[in-house]
Every structure is written in structure tokens, then in C-alpha cells.
């Protein structure tokens, strides 16, 4: 109904975001989740603290948990930056200011981890 209302006013309906192809993971748990669900081939960079899977050693490192290098992130042209929900306060607004979509993944409990996967 909302889509129809927008069309009547000459506005195109919003389209769903495309599937990300260039992902930066800023947290070890999100990197491991991406690997576990078969999306690691789309990861173009990780945080300094990522150690698994072994393939992370071949990827650029973009800084620490609460101080990733925004210039480096921008240069890698990601279409999604994923991080732990606890990092949101440090990185979400800065990454979004680059025009990049973000995804904060809950990870405080085992239940959170299972939901994230």
C-alpha cells in the first residue's frame, strides 16, 4: 500500500539492497560467522584481531576493534561493513558517513551467536 502511494506521487518504490560482494569484517566473531555460512569469499578485509580462518592472513587489516582506519576502509570500496553490536558506538556512524551499509551482529550470548548465524 505504501509503495502504491509513493508511485502515485511520482516516486519509485524503494528496492531491496543488493547482495553484498565486498564485505569488511571488523570483529573476529563476524569473520568466523561469514566463513561458517560460506560467505568468506566476499570478505575483502578484516580487523587486526581476526585469526580464523587461516585465509585471513592473506587479507588487508584495517585496524582495531574501536579504531578502524576509515581511509583504508573507504579505499577498499566495501558495500557492507559488518561488526559486533558492541562496536556500534565506535564505528557505525563513521562507516555510514562513507556511504557504506553496516550490519551490527549481536554476540553477547550463545543465543545471540546462534541468531546471528
**Domain coordinates in residue numbering, the chain:** 21-116
62 touches 43 (CB < 8 A): no
Which has more pLDDT, 27 or 1?
A: 27
Which CATH superfamily is 21-116 part of? Nitrogenase molybdenum iron protein domain (3.40.50.1980)
φ, ψ at 49 (rounded to 5°): -95, 0
Distance CA 36, CA 30 (A): 10
Is the pLDDT reported for residue 8 higher than 50?
no
26 touches 62 (CB < 8 A): yes
The pLDDT assigned to 1 comes to 39
Residue identified by cell 547482495 is 19
Q: What is the DSSP letter of 45?
A: E
Q: Which class for 82: exposed (0-12), middle (13-18), buried (19 or more C-beta within 10 A)?
A: buried
Is the pLDDT reported for residue 106 higher than 50?
yes
Mean of pLDDT over the chain: 85
The pLDDT assigned to 54 comes to 97
Distance CA 94, CA 1 (A): 34
* Residue pLDDT, tens place only, 9-64: 444 444 446 899 999 999 999 999 999 999 999 999 999 999 999 999 999 999 99
| Global model pTM greater than 0.85 | no
Amino acid at each position: 500500500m505504501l509503495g502504491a502511494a509513493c508511485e502515485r506521487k511520482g516516486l519509485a518504490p524503494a528496492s531491496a539492497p543488493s547482495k553484498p560482494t565486498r564485505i569488511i569484517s571488523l570483529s573476529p566473531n563476524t569473520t568466523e560467522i561469514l566463513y561458517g555460512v560460506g560467505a568468506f569469499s566476499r570478505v575483502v578485509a578484516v580487523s587486526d584481531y581476526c585469526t580464523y580462518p587461516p585465509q585471513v592472513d592473506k587479507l588487508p587489516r584495517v585496524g582495531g576493534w574501536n579504531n578502524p582506519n576509515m581511509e583504508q576502509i573507504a579505499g577498499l570500496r566495501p558495500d557492507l561493513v559488518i561488526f559486533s553490536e558492541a562496536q556500534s558506538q565506535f564505528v557505525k556512524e563513521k562507516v555510514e558517513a562513507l556511504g557504506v551499509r553496516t550490519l551490527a551482529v549481536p554476540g553477547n550470548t550463545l543465543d545471540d551467536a546462534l541468531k546471528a548465524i
